[in-house]
Chains A and B, each alone.
Chain A
Amino acid sequence: MKWICKRLLIIPNALFIAFLLIQLLPNKAYRIADNPIYTVALALFLEIVLLAVSFLIKKDRLRHIFTDVLGIIFAFLIFWVLATIKLDLPGNAKQAVFPPPGAVLEKFTLDFGQTLTNIKDSLALIFQGYLIAAAIAIPFGLFLGWNMRIGAAAGYIAKFLSSISPLIYIPYAIVLLPTFRAASVFVIVMASFWPILASTMSGVLNVEKRIIDSAKTLCVGRFTMLFRIILPASLPQIFIGCNQGLSVSFILLVSAEMIGARSGLGYFVNNYANFGNYTTALAGVITIGIVVTVITFLFNLLQRFLLRWKQ
């Protein structure tokens, strides 16, 4: 009994109830009509997840991650509902750029088929660019880091080049590359290339000298030294850059898909924002957020697997 109380009397549950109570408040007049059914349905769904998680996950740490995230989502929904429909805020807050959650969720649900296509196209673009960047940056970084003399100079040059926003390259990419699609991929390549290169170089420079000595006494060849010793030894550091590269890729997705794309999450957001339809644009923004979270989760799994030899 005490155990059940302990699992139920948590702040996220209180926030859920607060959210339901707030729905009872009268609506103030705003530019965009809300459709509260969607918000309430989402909140109910999240609450079911929350209850299931509270009772099914035994490990404290993992359960707390879920309950805390859900609690923060409830808190945000409360803020969003209050700010956009329930409170009488001064004039500017009533503009179309602040749609209420119900309206956004409605768009999200109605356009779901289109959203799936967008996710598919955007992921194809990002992975293509990202993999090209990693496939060039990692071997190149290993080579530069290992040849210390060039590496020291290359470090500064890479810093200089990485400070240039990939957006600057867009006109050049359009002029030089055969298709718009290739130009879009190029933006993603440029976004992820520098973080991966820089982290690979610093990873190589920080490899424990004693590991290199140990490898030397085994008379390993040049290729074996780079790819069987230096690469795995600097992998923890390389992953830091790969993570950053992934984040920057998603940030630049919108820009990459401005170039001649006809679908994709970035195109979708940009397109609707340009026409002032912020309700639909925000639905796209939320979708991007969810996709990034899922990809990050999968990426962390991959990282944990590849670095399973670390303490």
Chain B
Amino acid sequence: MSKIEIKNLHAEYTDKNGLFLALKDVSFSVKEGEFISVIGSSGCGKSTLLGVLQGILTPSSGNAFIDGRPITGPGTDRAAVFQHYSLFPWMTVRKNIAFGLKQVKKNLTRSERYAAAHVFLKKVGLTGFEHKYPFQLSGGMQQRAAIARALAMDTNILLMDEPFGAIGAKNRSNMQELLLTLWEGDGQSRKKTVVFVTHDIDEAIFLSDRIIMLTNSPGQIAAEFDVHFPRPRIHSTIRKTGEYINLRNKLMTLFYDENTGAAAEEEYAI
């Protein structure tokens, strides 16, 4: 059974311009331990899709299932990282992580939560920043802390909404490698299932096992791509391969093609 199953998802919203169809008949599934990216230009409904998985948004019809059970609201089986404001600005970094932990693991004492916060801050390279407030950290460091919180909550599923979207290019590559290192772990424990939303093609290729591309309003699945590069992946080696360039070109063509609808039914694989 797949970990996440999305069936005939429709999402309509009324905004100031009237009725808006954000997602139209989106169906796909994610295997346990799979890292998938959802890619599309801004306003294509990819954040709406993630909102449904987070349990924040209710779809108009269709549903999403986790382990075969329909999603009815937020759950402690899922952790989220957003582009902005994942962390609460009035809590120190340590407090933010401890607060997240407290919500999912009610039986931990305060000192146990702080100890866990310390461990995960070390993993993301933020030792010594425990008592800083988010505004005192750079954007990249804030996202590291947000990832530390999501990992500390030890959920099976990780939902990430353009987490590196506001970070400079060089730092972003480092963050991507860090994320993969943490996701792959020691190779012993089971990998988390990750749904990663982005508009950055290179990011999607580098991180994912599979890429799902959405068309523009309404968001529909344009194509799916399997990405077969061996892990662990390193930017400098992957980018030079012919396979990478090939896949990137295909994605680019589709991404910038005005008539994405025409290619919608076609399946790409390398």
Contacts and interface: CB of A to CB of B under 8 A. Distances in A.
Interface string B45-88: 00000010011100000000000000000111011101011111
Interface in A209-223: 210-211, 213-220
Main secondary structure of the interface of A (DSSP, over half): helix
A135 B79 CA distance: 35
Contacts of B88: 211, 214-215, 229, 232-233
Contact of A308 (B78, B133, B159): B133
B135 interface: yes
B183 interface: no
A264 to B, nearest CB: 37
A293 B33 CA distance: 62
Contacts of A208: 85
A190 interface: no
Contacts of B79: 217
Given A210-B82, A308-B133, A311-B135, A217 B90 contact: no
B85 A220 contact: no
Interface residues of B, number: 28
A213 B89 contact: no
Interface residues of A, number: 21
A232 B153 CA distance: 23
Interface in A281-311: 308-311
Contacts of A311: 135
B244 to A, nearest CB: 33
B85 A216 contact: no
Nearest to A308: B133
Nearest to B83: A210
Interface of B: 51, 54-56, 74-76, 78-80, 82, 84-91, 99-100, 103-104, 133-135, 153, 159
12 contacts: A208-B85, A210-B82, A210-B85, A211-B89, A213-B54, A217-B56, A217-B80, A218-B103, A219-B104, A229-B88, A233-B90, A235-B90
